[in-house]
Amino acid sequence: MTMLNFFSPIVALLLQEAPRTRFDLMREAAANPDLSKFLVIGALLFIIGVAGVLTRRNIIVIFMSIELILNAANLNFIAFPRYLYETGSVNAAAGQIFTVFVIVVAAAEAAIGLGIVIALYRNKETIWVDEIDLLKW
């Protein structure tokens, strides 16, 4: 009997619910991704695109990084209308039409930009941006 008295607090300690740690909270948040996770992925894609524009030498890859940046903005334009729809705002789809226009402008920009790249390649014989220094003197 004395033995049981000795062990019972230990058993009680083992059986009690563990306090919610930071790790538990993170696991719960990962199991239920919400608006902020969409925004974080959009932000990371945006910054990868900015890094590509700033560091690459190939002008075509710089254009691709710009597409990545525009796409990250589109992700935000899609995530917010969804959130606003669930909080019961009127005209929740209004955010999605911005995405349509961003895609239109991105397509036009790609066509013009690649036309410029071809004209530049004909005149300068290079696609490296540090060799395209027509404005330098």
Partner 1 sequence: MTLSGYEALFFWIFGLAAIFAGLLTVMARNAVHSALFLISSLVSVAALFILARAEFIAGVQILVYVGGVMVLFLFVIMLVNVGAEERGREEIFNNQRQVTASLIFCLLLVGGVLYSVNQGYRGLQALHPTTPELAAAQQATREQSLPTSGTGSSKLTHDSQGLGGVLFRYASLPFEIASVLLLVAIIGSVMLARTLRQEASADDVDPEALREEIARDPEFAKLEPKSE
What part of residues 32-91 is at the interface with partner 1 (CB under 8 A)? 32-41, 43-52, 54-58, 60-61, 63-65, 67-68, 71, 74-75, 78-79, 81-83, 85-87, 91
Contacts with partner 1 by CB under 8 A: the residue count is 77
Site membership for partner 1, residue 27 (CB under 8 A):
no
Q: For residues 105 and 123, is the Cβ–Cβ distance under 8 A? A: no
Q: Shortest gap between Cβ of 16 and partner 1 (angstroms)? A: 24
Contact in structure between 58 and 117 (CB atoms under 8 Å): no
Computed over its alpha carbons, how large is the radius of gyration of the chain? 27
Q: Is the dihedral of CA 56, 62, 68, 74 positive or negative?
A: positive
**Nearer CB in complex with partner 1: 21/91:** 91
